[in-house]
A and B are shown apart, each in its own frame.
Chain A
Amino acid sequence: QTVVTQEPSLTVSPGGTVTLTCASSTGAVTSGYYPNWFQQNPGQAPRALIYSTSNKHSWTPARFSGSLLGGKAALTLSGVQPEDEAEYYCLLYYGSAWVFGGGTKLTVL
């Protein structure tokens, strides 16, 4: 069974920078896994932020960026705002199935 692993929780100060990562139990994450990233606020549906590793949707704030880092997919928030406090999920494609990461609870403190 394929497992996608994210940091369970991270804390960042307002205005700071934080990187969330997404690792695959099958090995290094590449662009061929088409990494997508989502933000979810309590009681709301997830909202897509990043697709195909590093591409932003039209509604994605400029402070969010995606990349590949050390064999993992990564989501970096630069100049963090209080409203960025949320749960973040990555999603990877394995040829015939998608698998979500367990999510990272980001606290802005």
Chain B
Amino acid sequence: DQQVKQNSPSLSVQEGRISILNCDYTNSMFDYFLWYKKYPAEGPTFLISISSIKDKNEDGRFTVFLNKSAKHLSLHIVPSQPGDSAVYFCAALYNNTDMRFGAGTRLTVKP
């Protein structure tokens, strides 16, 4: 039962352009959302998060948007850099007890 879905397994973007990674969820009880970045042969690292009481959180080049009515969140990276090439996982948390991850999206930023 995939409660968190990342429907795009891969995304390719030109350096300097915007990268938009999408994530959909089915459980309206999720109240906290996170994005993790994973390089090959390494564990995922925390990138940015957002509480369900907000609709936007920004940290430098990274911005996460949350649309609760659509059960959709997105991660925007602007401008994209080659070092951003990695797999990005979306995760959703309910009541600090139940955390679900998406299958990941592989981002490639071309020079």
A complexed with B = no
Residues of B within 8 A of A (CB): none
